[in-house]
Structure 1
């Protein structure tokens, strides 16, 4: 199970990504409500179709605000350069035992530290 972050999707929509295409073909890609929301905030070609197809992907369970705040405290994520949405996505990856794939360097550094990075 690979949780694909917004940054990877943006590159895929702009110029394609053979690795992501292969993962999609093999049914290994998962998403998250916040990732779909972040993508929906941007300009998309074929907007309705793209959002529909993203919504059809399996989703990692979202963490509650309380779970997310606990995750921040437990793993010392304050002041580490990522925001609440990224913490929630990271927490979901850890809880669902998914590998997180992002092009955000700070987020991936934390994913490596927590043992959930997709390499």
Structure 2
């Protein structure tokens, strides 16, 4: 087999791999970076869980979700830091559901569901 044929087959292999692996990679990246959270993910987070374990599900806080519930959320536990995520769960009427996770001394001490005002988010 000539060198040109080997190069052509190698290139064809790369293209086939891209079409087979590429869509899966895109779905995984979107799932990881998606700011919304499923009700199942919310339920799986347990009070008393170490922050590092809980953060695997909760991931980074969504600033838009935090702003959407500002002034509407219940008080935070004293000395806690909270993370906010929009829910993917459909909500009746206007507004959206935001999940709030509060951490203190390295563990999850509170998780709440807060509804945004109509027209927010």
TM-score by shorter chain over 0.5: no
Relative to its length, the structure with more helix (as a share) is: 1
Greater RCO between the two (CA within 8 Å, min separation 6)? 1
The structure having more radius of gyration, on CA atoms, is 2
Relative to its length, the structure with more strand (as a share) is: 2
- Give the shorter-chain TM-score range: under 0.3
Instruction: Calculate the TM-score normalised by the size of structure 1.
Output: 0.28
Instruction: Calculate the TM-score normalised by the size of structure 2.
Output: 0.27
